Amino acid sequence: MISVNNVTKVYNGKKAVCINSLMISQGELVGLVGNNGAGKTTFFRLILDLVKADNGEILINDQNVAHTDSWKKCTSSYLEEDFLISYLTPLEYLSFIGSLHNISEDEIKDFISVNEKLFKDVYTNQKYIRDLSKGNQCKVGIAGSLFVNPKLCILDEPFANLDPSSQIQLKNLLLEINSNNGTTIFISSHDLRHVTDLCKRILIMENGTIIQDCLTNNETLMQLENYFIV
Amino acid sequence: MYNSIILLYIQFLFEGFGGNLFWNIMSFLSKSVFSKSNPIYKHIEYKIVLFKNSITLKLLYHEWKGSIRKKETNHGFLINIIINFFTIIVTLPLVIIFLKLKYVIKSFKPDISIQSTVFLLLIYIFLIDFIIRLMVQKKISNAVKPYLTLNIPKRSIIYLFIVKTVTNTYNFIILFLLVPVILSNLYNTLNTTKIFILYIFLVICFIMNNYLVQYIKNISSTILFWITNITIVILIFFGILFISQINITKYVLIIFTNISNKPIFLLPFLLFLLLILKIYYRQVKQLLYIDSNANQSKLNLSTFETIRIINKKSYQLFMLFIIDLKLILRNKRPYEIVIFSILLPLIMLILLRFVGFSNTDKLALFLVSIFATGIIILAYGQFIFSWQSAHFPLNYVLHINTKEYIKSKMLLLFLLSTISYLFCIVILHSYDSLIISCAFLFNIGIQIPLTCLFGLFSYKKIDLNSSAFLNYQGTGKTQYLYFYGLLAVSSIIYYPIQKYFSEKIAILVFGLLGLISILFSVLWLRLLTKNLQKNKYKFLEGFSKI
């Protein structure tokens, strides 16, 4: 699904991202953890062709993200509230995204009603996105990236501004989408418990490089805590 | 090739300008002309569906929504329409002058050819248009950031930029008001077809300007490049002055006559426009990354470190001044205001020098000098404290000396006005420099402290990165009160002195008032410091409001 080959990105002489090789297969649920400044967000931005890599290539479904747009049809993402169209209402925003994927408003409503607890309040809110709380803005972004039935979904710290109930609901929803639709989900989070609960594979990033790539087991949480405690 | 030009044509024109209306008319016509089974009817209907599902159109619709839901201005849709309408109304006197141009020419210089004068005027407008665009045209921004993560081809986003760049009030005024009106003066000398061909030629030229300036603006990401731009602008104007000594009318006449006679000559211009569009397309493609502005050069402060040891207060004043300078250089609205306020008087002075006004008309010279050296104080100084509205509380957290803070503002206004004064002295060197100096003294002595004082009553937050052109954010009754008040008081002082003594003495009195005010600047500083401290909470409250 995602193939990263010799990718580097340098800012002011410092390597923000330097990954020699990384493969994420279809249907995987992968977590990316690392301290602030480790390069997680830059890495996501490189995958989504939001910043240009200095070297190397990133392929999504064997398509170089820098050379074509066709990978966008099967990819969805939510990185931060800046990527929302602030002057639209949540309904307008989701309808717009739906129109890009030929998804009708009825289908959006179906998705919302199935995940009523998590998204209904946001969906029916008549305020503009810019006037919503950070948590609700985050929900709009996540809803927008999930209802389009993507093959690949990239979420940068999706749990960050959510209340505890929403965090649990989101976790369940991501697991469900991953197992039912075979969607590849790639998330980053500072919450080690959420990552270990959710992801079957965890990547640890430091100074722009992936220093550990492990499968999750019963001891992973403890190992991660021990790693970051130092 | 042919097919791609047609596609480009459809994308640019039909999706951008009134496309919906076009296809609705087509639908109506096809329904009336063809039967439903006719393949032409089916093709048109298919095109209509394609058009209505066009992503570029959806993005344009969003842009429109974004503009009517703008948070910063608090302007409703109706207000936006009124402001745009107001802009058009303001240009009406100019339109009327251009409409009656041939009568104006006949009354002043009856022996001159109307045709060559009109052509010459169009060339000047074309050159001035380029400079105006450099100052007022908006730079490409990353307002499209949300679209980048969505299932939208980059091509559609680029089309959006291309269409957005050309659809604005300024282009409407130039292309649909000024140019047709100027060309209408040729109605008796050229036939309609020729005038229409010339109109097409001018539209191509102005659109070329539009994209060329946009291209320049997008690549000029460093301060150095901006300085180069400004130098080019100045050189162009001095170039115009130089050219004016040479008879260029002959060449202009050859170009316009040939184009109007042989429309084939339009082709190179059209090809050049397509080339510019292609270059612009590629540039926008390169800019569609969220870190495209990340590598801008920054002013290196390390060279100023030595000043720290000289004097703590001077150092703080210097640093505050540097911050103000950076605020101007790195933010759109203050930058545009400063550049505009320096270039506008410069253009005016050059034109006045070119046209020539009487050396004996002292009042006219004084008023011209007042305008030239004072516009920057008025334009930038009216928001002197509001410019820092976004980080105003920081001044109090960092415990900045209020007096030094105000001094830095006054120093900035003084230096900006001095630049204009130097321009005045150089360009109007053959005129009475004493009168120009009186105007300058009045501006730095009276205008600067008064503008700062009235700036203390402007509590509205300012968005630094919106364009200065037609931007009324932060403007309130204070500015009008100050402007008309100063005008009234100046008239009250001027006319009695002029009546009982002389014009020159009245002007000297203004210079003297400025000089006295400079000598008592300590009192001004005390007054401003006291009032800034008094109004501190009003500022903090006002600037925190969105």
Residue range B174-186: average pLDDT? 88
- In terms of Cα–Cα distance, which of B429, B450, B468, B422 is closest to B513? B450
- In terms of Cα–Cα distance, which of B201, B177, B190 is closest to B113? B190
The pLDDT of residue B13: 46
C-beta of residue A29 within 8 angstroms of C-beta of residue A155: no
Partner-chain contact A130 B291, CB within 8 Å: no
Residue percentage of chain A with pLDDT more than 90 = 17
> The domain containing residue A99 runs over which residues?
2-229
- A149–B contact, CB cutoff 8 A: no
Partner-chain contact B289 A51, CB within 8 Å: yes
The pLDDT of residue A29: 92
Residue B533 CA, chain-centre distance (Å), reads: 35
- In terms of Cα–Cα distance, which of B302, B319, B427 is closest to B373? B427
The pLDDT of residue B84: 63
Q: If you write DSSP's letter for every residue of A97-144 in order, what string do you get?
A: HHHHTT--HHHHHHHHHHTHHHHHHHHT--S-GGGS-HHHHHHHHHHH
- A87–B contact, CB cutoff 8 A: yes
Residue range B336-360: average pLDDT? 78
Residues of B in contact with A79 (CB under 8 A): 149
Partner-chain contact B148 A50, CB within 8 Å: yes
For residue B421, is pLDDT > 70?
Answer: yes
Helix (H) or strand (E) holding A23: strand A14-24
Task: Give the whole-angstrom CA distance, residue B96 versus residue B116.
Answer: 20
* B538 or B265: which leads in pLDDT: B265
A61: CATH: 3.40.50.300
- The DSSP output letter for A51 is S
Residues of A in contact with B56 (CB under 8 A): none
Residue range B5-33: average pLDDT? 55
- Assign B546 to helix, strand or coil: coil
C-beta of residue B387 within 8 angstroms of C-beta of residue B334: yes
pLDDT confidence bin for B14, thresholds 50/70/90: very low
Q: Which of A14, A58, A68, A72 to mutate to test the interface with B (most CBs of B within 10 A)?
A: A72
C-beta of residue B64 within 8 angstroms of C-beta of residue B58: no
Cα distances from B219 to residues B166, B230, B425, in angstroms, run 18, 14, 34
**Of A37-51, B48-62, B341-355, B400-414, minimum mean pLDDT range:** B48-62
The tally of domains found in chain A comes to: 1
Residue range B475-500: average pLDDT? 76
**Nearest beta carbon to residue B146 from set A51, A84, A128:** A84
C-alpha dihedral sign at B156, B162, B168, B171:
negative
- A97–B contact, CB cutoff 8 A: yes
Min CA distance, A101 vs chain B (Å)?
7
- Assign B383 to helix, strand or coil: coil
For residue B494, is pLDDT > 60?
Answer: yes
C-beta of residue B402 within 8 angstroms of C-beta of residue B317: no
Q: Name residues whose C-beta falls within 8 Å of residue A147's C-beta, 6 or more positions apart in sequence.
A: A94, A97, A98, A103, A107, A108, A111, A112
Partner-chain contact A87 B71, CB within 8 Å: yes
Task: Give the whole-angstrom CA distance, residue B180 versus residue B155.
Answer: 33
> Which residue numbers of B have CB closer than 8 Å to A's CBs?
55, 58, 62, 65-66, 69-71, 145-146, 148-155, 289-291, 294
Residue range B95-118: average pLDDT? 77
Around Cβ B71, how many Cβ atoms within 10 Å?
13
For residue B83, is pLDDT > 80?
Answer: no
The pLDDT of residue B396: 66
Partner-chain contact A99 B58, CB within 8 Å: yes
For residue B224, is pLDDT > 50?
Answer: no
* B245 or B297: which leads in pLDDT: B245
pLDDT confidence bin for B97, thresholds 50/70/90: confident
For residue B528, is pLDDT > 70?
Answer: yes
Average pLDDT, chain B: 75
Min CA distance, A224 vs chain B (Å)?
31
Partner-chain contact B155 A50, CB within 8 Å: no
Q: Name residues whose C-beta falls within 8 Å of residue B292's C-beta, 6 or more positions apart in sequence.
A: B142, B286
- In terms of Cα–Cα distance, which of B208, B138, B206, B148 is closest to B178? B206
pLDDT confidence bin for B535, thresholds 50/70/90: confident
Task: Give the whole-angstrom CA distance, residue A159 versus residue B142.
Answer: 26
Tell me which amino acid residue A63 is.
Answer: Q
| Rama region for B474: left / alpha / beta (φ>0; ψ in -120 to 50; rest) | left
- Which parts of B51-112 are beta strand (E)? none
Task: Give the whole-angstrom CA distance, residue B2 versus residue A230.
Answer: 66
**Per-residue tokens: B15:** 């999706």
Residue range A38-58: average pLDDT? 88
Helix, strand and coil in chain A, % to nearest 5: 40, 25, 30
* B45 or B213: which leads in pLDDT: B213
pLDDT tens-digit series, residues B441-454: 888 898 899 988 88
Phi, psi of B465 (to 5 degrees): -100, 10
Cα distances from B243 to residues B54, B249, B257, in angstroms, run 48, 10, 21
Residues of A in contact with B155 (CB under 8 A): 69
Residue of B nearest to A102 (CA): B53
Rg (alpha carbons) of chain A, rounded to whole number? 17
| Rama region for A33: left / alpha / beta (φ>0; ψ in -120 to 50; rest) | beta
Average pLDDT, chain A: 87
For residue B7, is pLDDT > 80?
Answer: no
The pLDDT of residue B364: 82
For residue B6, is pLDDT > 50?
Answer: no
- A51–B contact, CB cutoff 8 A: yes
- In terms of Cα–Cα distance, which of B515, B354, B383 is closest to B439? B515
For residue B204, is pLDDT > 90?
Answer: yes
Residue range B84-93: average pLDDT? 65
